[in-house]
Amino acid sequence: MGKQVLIIEDEPNIIEAIRFILSRDGWNVATHSDGATALEAVARRKPDIVILDVMLPNRSGYDVLQDLRADPATEGLPVLMLTARGQRKDREMAERLGASRFMTKPFSNADVLNSVREMVAP
């Protein structure tokens, strides 16, 4: 069984692009699109890595990340944060809250794939 990735993102075109490149690389891809229930999705799916958008309906990705880091069960889970806003303050906030890596949209498929591979290297 391949590695599990959970994409928490609400833009269908981005979900499909990431799902396509990761599935082709052998990843089992699950998706979730609501910030309010994101933590439940992580607990249920137990992914090897989470790709988390900052701008989500009902709850921000920053809030979700903060809760993931506060929970001993998920504090070491690799999290790749995605944002449409690449300002330094967004990057600093993601780093302060414990994001493993930060990527600005639009991103290249190769960058996403390489980051995910590096973050879940054996």
Burial pattern 36-54, b for ≥16 Cβ within 10 A else e, equals eebbebbeebebbbbbbbb
- Average pLDDT in the 91-99 region? 94
Return the pLDDT at 1.
55
Domain limits, the chain: 4-117
Q: What global pTM score does this model have? A: 0.95
Q: Tell me the CB-side half-sphere exposure of residue 105, using CA atoms within 13 A.
A: 17
The length of the chain in residues reads 122
53: left (phi over 0), alpha (psi -120 to 50) or beta: beta
Q: Does domain 4-117 have CATH number 3.40.50.2300?
A: yes
Average pLDDT, the chain: 95
pLDDT at 2 over 90: no
pLDDT, tens digit, for every residue of 45-87?
Answer: 999 999 999 999 999 999 999 999 999 999 999 999 998 877 8
Which pLDDT score, from 0 to 100, does residue 26 have? 96
